[in-house]
Amino acid sequence: MGHLILLLRPGLLGFKNRLSRTHGAGLKKPVFMGGLGLVFGLILFVLSSRVLVYFQSVEMIGDLLAKELLSMVFLTFFSLLIFSNIITSLSTLYLSKDLEFCHSAPVPVETLFAARAFSSFLNSSWMALIFAIPILGAYGYVYAPGVGFYISLIHLIIAMGLIASGLGVLLTMTLVHVFPAQRTRDIILLLSLLMVVGLYLLFRFLRPERLVDPEMALSVMQYVSALKAPDSPYLPTHWITEILWTHLIMGSETGSEGFYLLLTWSTALTLVFVNIWTASFIYLDGFSKAQEAKKRLMGGKRILDLMIRLVTKPFKPDLAVVMAKDIRVFFRDNTQWSQLLLLFALVVVYVYNFKVLPLEKSPLPLDFLQNGLAFLNMGLAVFVLAAVGVRFVFTAVSAEGTAFWILRSSPMQLGRYLWGKYFFFLVPMLFLGMILIVVTNNFLQVSRFMMALSSATMFFMVFGIVSLGIGFGAMYPRFDHENIGQVATGFGGLLYMMVSALFIGAVVVLEAGPVYLLFMSQMKGRVISAMEQVYMVVSFAGVLALTAAAIWKPMGMGLKALAGSGTRK
């Protein structure tokens, strides 16, 4: 036990030091982010409360709706926790830089594994569990249960986190033990594929299209049958839902709550001991394999060289060298290229949402609904693109790492460097953006006018989104990162997403009026007046001016920030 506390002590002291040193100007960021988190939590709480109040107003099936929603919430968070623990434990248990020092310490392997697994549990679970608080708190507010609900909620959430962490760590250990070390990339690929498949299955299990299908409400029994969640008595989420529901609805006791409680905690503790026991046999072997050099595939090298020559051909030699380095590092770092699979899953699910919308069953006019959704989809698609940009574009400058001093001492000007990064990411982002907007509009079967308008708007807004990513990445670089994925979750990444959302919202607001006038003129055959034409010209000119500002201003601010650190312009 003493060794376990000793291994956990550096992390606890580091957290304590960060809190004690946060004062003055350094206090602004945590206060701002904490306030933003509270606002988001409050909004989520209010929305969840309103949904539950509405469910209560539905006769006969209102409580069933609320219970099924609770089951879906737990299933969603449980799945996300498993996937998060798989990825986090791979780094914490096998790839972290301090592991060589830890393994050289005179402590049992079981103790070292327990300490690292506990760190993985905390790092991968705290955010998901915190985001669950507003939703679960809404149940307490609407149903007004006793104090037993909150006590059960606290320890059951911890138990669910332990079960998810145990499953994720056990799967990671097994995969690392089975696969040879030189195929670590294949391990990441398999994990990512499992995540993609899991997300897809989860999406299909929830079947959200049922909620907008009027035919599902032909009778109460059909509706109740359609709302059955992907529940199973073998899932921990089922046990937790049943326990909490007895606290929320008086008189719903079935006598099995004690059994479910014992089953939940016995599963959590059993997984803890099974993982420690398994680690005593295979953890050191897996860690040893992870330290071996990876086998180079000459065929893959030739393909990579060909791709680099094609991509860097438009650039001059100095920028071409930097771009070639970025491409090689990207494909050598498994934690980076494997996220392309997650990006692919995001695009597939996003496009699939529009494919299953039953537009023909809506009481609204089909043309109006199709083009209205297409206009809203334009803003949503750009926001999805911004979410992709925060991981790949925003981190472009920080990806140089501690070797950024080489660029600072080189003859290449910073402005040329930043604009080179800009154009390097512009083409793939344009390609992704146009795929999103064109494919979804085809599913919606929009008019030619809306297709042209949304495509043109997407085209110009991508220029601004990429500039915001490069600019904010230069203003808030983190060259001392251990994992490039950490850069996107910092204060700068949050600001980038907020400014991107404001930029997208402003463009949508500016275009809403002209689009409505043009659409109604086509629908009703009315002539647009001279004043309305002036209004439309001013609105579209405002969009162009705003886009130009989004391109030039962030790049200038990013260049100034880097130059202020002692670099040449």
**Domain check: are 241 and 348 in the same one?**
no
Asked if the model's pLDDT at residue 313 lies above 90, the reply is no
Q: At residue 314, what is the residue type?
A: P
pLDDT at position 249 is: 81
Give the separation between CA 420 and CA 511, rounded to whole angstroms.
Answer: 31
Average pLDDT of the chain is 78
The domain in which residue 65 lies consists of 2-290
Give the separation between CA 405 and CA 479, rounded to whole angstroms.
Answer: 10
Grouping H, G, I as helix, E, B as strand and the rest as coil, residue 218 is coil
Per DSSP, the chain holds a count of helices (H) and strands (E) of 21, 0
**Domain check: are 408 and 476 in the same one?**
yes
* Residues 141 and 66: beta-carbon distance below 8 Å: no
> Is residue 98 assigned to a domain?
yes
Give the separation between CA 248 and CA 257, rounded to whole angstroms.
Answer: 13
Asked if the model's pLDDT at residue 531 lies above 70, the reply is yes
Reported confidence tier of residue 189, pLDDT bands at 50, 70, 90: low
Reported confidence tier of residue 275, pLDDT bands at 50, 70, 90: very high
Asked if the model's pLDDT at residue 266 lies above 90, the reply is yes
**Domain check: are 284 and 300 in the same one?**
no
* Count of all residues that appear for the chain in the document: 569
Residue 454 CB neighbour total at 10 angstroms: 26
> Is residue 198 assigned to a domain?
yes
* Residues 184 and 334: beta-carbon distance below 8 Å: yes
The 10s digit of each residue's pLDDT in 382-433 is 888 888 888 888 988 888 877 787 877 877 888 888 888 898 899 889 999 9
Residue after which a domain boundary falls, among 231, 256, 290: 290
> Is residue 533 assigned to a domain?
yes
Residues 6+ apart with CB under 8 A from 337: 330, 331
CA distances to 56, 221, 224, 357 from 211, rounded to whole Å, are: 17, 15, 12, 10
> Is residue 344 assigned to a domain?
yes
Residue with tokens 């420690």: 276
- SS3 of 254-305: the string is CCCHHHHHHHHHHHHHHHHHHHHHHHHHHHHHHHHHHCCCCCCCHHHHHHHH
> Is residue 56 assigned to a domain?
yes
Grouping H, G, I as helix, E, B as strand and the rest as coil, residue 238 is helix
**Domain check: are 360 and 213 in the same one?**
no
The helix, strand and coil proportions of the chain, stated in percent and rounded to the nearest 5, come to: 85, 0, 15
pLDDT at position 181 is: 44
**Domain check: are 243 and 175 in the same one?**
yes
Residue 44 CB neighbour total at 10 angstroms: 17
Residue after which a domain boundary falls, among 281, 313, 332: 332
**Domain check: are 103 and 228 in the same one?**
yes
pLDDT at position 338 is: 61
**Position with higher pLDDT, 193 vs 49:** 49
**Domain check: are 113 and 207 in the same one?**
yes
pLDDT at position 96 is: 75
Q: Tell me which range, 62-66, 97-101, 470-474, 491-495, is most confidently predicted by mean pLDDT.
A: 470-474
- SS3 of 125-167: the string is HHHHHHHHHHHHHHHHHHHCCCHHHHHHHHHHHHHHHHHHHHH
CA distances to 12, 402, 440 from 541, rounded to whole Å, are: 54, 43, 26
The CA-based angle 396-399-402, given to 5 degrees, is: 140
Max CA pair span of the chain: 84
Question: Domains in the chain: how many in total?
Answer: 3
* Residues 48 and 41: beta-carbon distance below 8 Å: no
Helical packing angle, 366-392 and 491-524, nearest 10°: 160
Interval 338-367 mean pLDDT: 65
Reported confidence tier of residue 219, pLDDT bands at 50, 70, 90: very low
pLDDT at position 461 is: 93
Q: What percent of the chain is modeled with pLDDT above 70?
A: 75
> Is residue 568 assigned to a domain?
no
pLDDT at position 471 is: 93
> Is residue 37 assigned to a domain?
yes
Q: Which of 150, 157, 153, 76 is nearest to 121 (CA)?
A: 157
Residue after which a domain boundary falls, among 264, 290, 316: 290
> Is residue 569 assigned to a domain?
no
**Domain check: are 322 and 258 in the same one?**
no
Q: Tell me which range, 162-166, 171-175, 355-359, is most confidently predicted by mean pLDDT.
A: 162-166
DSSP result, 53-88 = HHHHHSTTTHHHHHHHHHHHHHHHHHHHHHHHHHHH
**Domain check: are 220 and 202 in the same one?**
yes
Asked if the model's pLDDT at residue 217 lies above 60, the reply is no
**Position with higher pLDDT, 546 vs 104:** 546
Reported confidence tier of residue 468, pLDDT bands at 50, 70, 90: very high
Pair of tokens at residue 407: 């660029």
Give the separation between CA 42 and CA 446, rounded to whole angstroms.
Answer: 37
Give the separation between CA 344 and CA 98, rounded to whole angstroms.
Answer: 33
**Domain check: are 179 and 210 in the same one?**
yes
Pair of tokens at residue 325: 């380095």
**Domain check: are 246 and 229 in the same one?**
yes
Asked if the model's pLDDT at residue 4 lies above 70, the reply is no
Helix ranges (H only) for 91-108 are 99-103
**Domain check: are 425 and 437 in the same one?**
yes
